């Protein structure tokens, strides 16, 4: 069987076919490298590519060669050390040839470093994730277009000929080209009619001359073609991008005295990862930052993550503010609404009942609501409060614990895992 390898180069001097074949072959190693990279670097740099290191042994191509078999009874020419019958001693322990990096006196072979693009990095990062509950529209990362009418053009394909428009153009052309001749024709016909039926020589000559001129004008008018290539009009179409559904992402975070800067940094990484995930599915995304302690306030990103506050925690203030903003600015009929809340689990005991009431009103309006508790797993007040309503909204409400940077990706993966049909 013959195998043909396409080595044609694309516009950037890279073989797209062989590149995809290589990515497919080492898919598991690239996926693992992507996940390790996410844990080891800031998520603010997640929109770049990645260098993937693949062990050299995994890049070896299979080959066929003649193996040694049977008994060798000859000595190769040039040998001055051994004679037939000699026994070759086994090398001492720790010796041997220079393997792949084993000998200090030889150069080892480095791992193969393969750089993937930003798009490939994100594809590996999100390949087994899906935005849940996309009830308004199923979105993809491919831009969509629709065709619409864009007037008329003098050039085009025969199937786009507009007959009425072409006939109007032809009529206008004939009128423009023959208007002067028709005016002269009417004048000559009037003069011919005014001569009457006189039989004198002057009248007969004048009548014949007028008749000849009339015939010539009529012939010239008839020579104007009924329709010409210049008259044909074609319907013109153009492709315009289809507007995708718009999304708003609400980021809610507790900024009371119990939330230190390290805890806020973990929450920031999760919010950034969620924003990047949504940006691959929606063209227009707005982010609303709501911070709260005993009271809630809508702030910008800088104040959201780095401003210090003290005091207790009243979670219902943030939920109420989110509800008010949705009612005034983001109607659910026009927006895909996502909520992400980060907290250490503390809440004022008298506020839990109000939180349950507000969550029962909010969750039906959102596409998805994710609550992450940045604390060790346990019976924290807010976790218990949300756990009471979680079974009712299991398809669009999720809760997870985060204890360190290494937990961010697994938790995010679990929250947005593809749902089995």
SS3 content of the chain, % helix, strand, coil (to 5): 45, 15, 40
The whole-angstrom separation of Cα 389 and Cα 391 is: 6
pLDDT in tens, 90-122: 766 654 444 444 444 444 455 667 677 777 776
pLDDT in tens, 348-399: 888 889 999 999 999 999 988 989 888 876 678 888 889 889 888 888 888 8
Nearest to 314 by CA among 378, 382, 361, 370: 382
Q: Give me the pLDDT at residue 318, please.
A: 92
Nearest to 251 by CA among 237, 233, 267, 231: 267
The whole-angstrom separation of Cα 107 and Cα 99 is: 9
Per-residue tokens: 368: 């998805």
Q: Kindly tell me if the per-residue pLDDT of 210 is higher than 90.
A: no
* Contact between 38 and 122 (Cβ < 8 Å): no
Q: Give me the pLDDT at residue 46, please.
A: 56
* Contact between 139 and 244 (Cβ < 8 Å): yes
Strands 246-254 and 50-54: unpaired
pTM score: 0.50
Q: How much is the average pLDDT of 289-316?
A: 82
The whole-angstrom separation of Cα 169 and Cα 70 is: 93
Q: Kindly tell me if the per-residue pLDDT of 235 is higher than 70.
A: yes
Question: Looking up tokens 């040839």, which residue turns up?
Answer: 97
The whole-angstrom separation of Cα 414 and Cα 421 is: 17
8-state DSSP, 47 = T
Q: Kindly tell me if the per-residue pLDDT of 52 is higher than 80.
A: no
pLDDT, averaged across the chain: 76
* Candidates 3.40.50.620, 3.30.1330.10, 3.40.50.410, 3.40.190.10; CATH matching 246-415: 3.40.50.410
Q: Give me the pLDDT at residue 403, please.
A: 81
Q: Give me the pLDDT at residue 76, please.
A: 66
Q: Give me the pLDDT at residue 362, please.
A: 92
Q: Strand ranges (DSSP E) for 69-180?
A: 112-116, 145-153
pLDDT in tens, 240-259: 765 556 788 899 988 877 77
Q: Give me the pLDDT at residue 132, please.
A: 55
Q: Strand ranges (DSSP E) for 154-245?
A: 234-241
Residue 238, phi then psi, degrees to nearest 5 = -140, 150
123-132, 317-326, 340-349, 363-372: segment of lowest average pLDDT: 123-132
């Amino acid at each position: 069987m013959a195998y043909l390898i396409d080595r044609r180069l694309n516009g950037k001097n890279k073989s797209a076919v062989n590149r995809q074949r290589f990515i497919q072959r080492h898919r598991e190693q690239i996926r693992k490298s992507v996940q390790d990279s996410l844990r080891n670097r800031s998520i603010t740099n997640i929109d770049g590519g990645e260098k993937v290191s693949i062990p050299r042994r995994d890049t070896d191509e299979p080959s066929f060669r003649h193996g040694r078999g049977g008994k060798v009874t000859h000595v190769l020419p040039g040998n001055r050390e051994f004679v037939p019958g000699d026994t070759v001693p086994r090398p001492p322990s720790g010796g041997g040839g220079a393997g792949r990096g084993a000998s200090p006196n030889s150069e080892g072979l480095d791992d193969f470093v393969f750089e993937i693009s930003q798009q490939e990095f994100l594809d590996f990062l999100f390949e087994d994730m899906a935005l849940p509950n996309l009830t308004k529209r199923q979105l993809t990362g491919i831009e969509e277009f629709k065709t619409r009418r864009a007037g008329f053009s003098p050039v085009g394909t025969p199937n786009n000929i507009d007959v009425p428009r072409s006939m109007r153009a032809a009529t206008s052309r004939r009128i423009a080209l023959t208007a002067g001749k028709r005016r002269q024709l009417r004048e000559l016909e009037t003069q011919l009619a005014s001569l009457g039926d006189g039989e004198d020589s002057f009248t007969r000559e004048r009548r014949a001359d007028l008749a000849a001129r009339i015939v010539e004008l009529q012939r010239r008018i008839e020579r104007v073609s009924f329709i010409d290539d210049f008259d044909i009009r074609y319907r013109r179409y153009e492709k315009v991008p289809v507007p995708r559904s718009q999304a708003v992402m609400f980021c809610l975070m507790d900024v009371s005295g119990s939330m230190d800067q390290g805890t806020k940094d973990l929450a920031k990484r999760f919010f950034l990862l969620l924003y990047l995930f949504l940006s691959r599915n929606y063209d227009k995304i707005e982010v609303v930052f709501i911070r709260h302690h005993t009271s809630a306030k809508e702030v910008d990103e800088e104040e959201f993550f780095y401003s210090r506050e003290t005091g207790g925690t009243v979670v219902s203030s943030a939920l109420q503010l989110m509800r008010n903003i949705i009612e005034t600015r983001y109607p659910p009929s026009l927006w895909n609404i996502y909520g992400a809340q980060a907290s250490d689990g503390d809440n004022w005991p008298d506020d839990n009942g109000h939180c349950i009431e507000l969550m029962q009103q909010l969750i039906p309006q959102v596409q998805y609501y994710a609550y992450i508790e940045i604390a060790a797993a346990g019976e924290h007040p807010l976790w218990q409060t949300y756990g009471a309503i979680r079974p009712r909204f299991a398809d669009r409400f999720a809760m997870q614990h985060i204890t360190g940077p290494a937990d961010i990706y697994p938790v995010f993966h679990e929250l947005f895992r593809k749902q089995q049909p």
